[in-house]
Chains A and B, each alone.
Chain A
Amino acid sequence: ELVLTQSPGTLSLSPGERATLSCRASPSISSSHLVWYQHKPGQAPRLLIYGASSRATGIPDRFSGSGSGTDFTLTISRLEPEDFAVYYCHHYDTSRPHTFGGGTKVEIK
């Protein structure tokens, strides 16, 4: 069974700071199927990154993804006020149940 572990659970930062979010997979997965979403209360989740490192259409370049195998990272280079939200990693499995990480909340310090 695949497990995606996100850390930290909460990240307290100020606007302008850099955010580094981790998603660890066990066992290892294909980076082609690793996805990151942003989710704000009362809104639909928003696709940020697919294929571990490809930005979705319209996503600002302050968002970047990296990693492979078991360790993946979402980086927000300079936090804007609208970036405070919960971020989820997701493994898109084509033949078994999908898996989401538990989420990382990025909150204003």
Chain B
Amino acid sequence: QVHLVESGGGVVQPGRSLRLSCAASGFTFSSYGMHWVRQAPGKGLEWVAVIWYDGSIEYYADSVKGRFTISRDNSRNTLFLQLNSLSAEDMAVYYCARGVWFGEFRYFDYWGQGTLVTVSS
């Protein structure tokens, strides 16, 4: 079955960088667009970024544009998120999610359990 497992979270000082990974299994990774979504403490879900199935297109939330970079390695079935210039506002649980285009419908059908990023000096 489909599994998405995030890793790479941890405690990082403001202004520093972190790289998150999402290991995918149980499906043809190279056929799906993949997303990162985050949830800050006590807040709701916030979409962060998407990358097309072949890596050709990326979109970002305004709040992370220019600081975060989404990428993927289809040979390793892995999604990445490079987080630079981190601030307290970036502290959150980061989830990867699989995007589905099914006819006219669009949705995230599988999510990982998330990895926590803590920004603190």
CB-contacts of A39-59 with B (<8 A): 39, 42-47, 50-51, 54, 56
A39, A43, A56, A97: most-surrounded residue (chain B CB, <10 A): A97
- Asked whether any CB of chain A lies closer than 8 Å to the CB of B11, the reply is no
- Asked whether any CB of chain B lies closer than 8 Å to the CB of A109, the reply is no
Q: Is the CB of A50 within 8 A of B59?
A: no
Choose from B44, B105, B112, B114 the contact partner of A103 (Cβ within 8 Å). B44
Interface bits A79-109 vs B (CB < 8 Å: 1, else 0): 0000000101010101111111111000000
User: With A45-B95, A92-B99, A97-B62 in contact, do A35 and B108 touch (Cβ < 8 Å)?
Assistant: yes
- Asked whether any CB of chain B lies closer than 8 Å to the CB of A32, the reply is yes
Q: Is the CB of A88 within 8 A of B105?
A: no
- Asked whether any CB of chain A lies closer than 8 Å to the CB of B89, the reply is no
B59, B105, B107, B110: most-surrounded residue (chain A CB, <10 A): B107
A33 and B104 CA atoms in complex are apart in Å by: 8
Q: Is the CB of B62 within 8 A of A44?
A: no
* CB nearest to B102 among chain A residues: A50
Question: Count the A-B residue pairs with Cβ separation under 8 angstroms: how many?
Answer: 73
Closest approach, in angstroms, between the C-beta of A79 and any C-beta of chain B? 21
B47, B62, B102, B106: most-surrounded residue (chain A CB, <10 A): B106
Q: Is the CB of A39 within 8 A of B59?
A: no
Q: Is the CB of A45 within 8 A of B104?
A: no
B37, B61, B101: most-surrounded residue (chain A CB, <10 A): B37
Closest approach, in angstroms, between the C-beta of B58 and any C-beta of chain A? 12
User: With A44-B111, A92-B99, A97-B61 in contact, do A39 and B106 touch (Cβ < 8 Å)?
Assistant: no
Interface bits B85-101 vs A (CB < 8 Å: 1, else 0): 00000000001010101
Closest approach, in angstroms, between the C-beta of B63 and any C-beta of chain A? 9
- Asked whether any CB of chain A lies closer than 8 Å to the CB of B60, the reply is yes
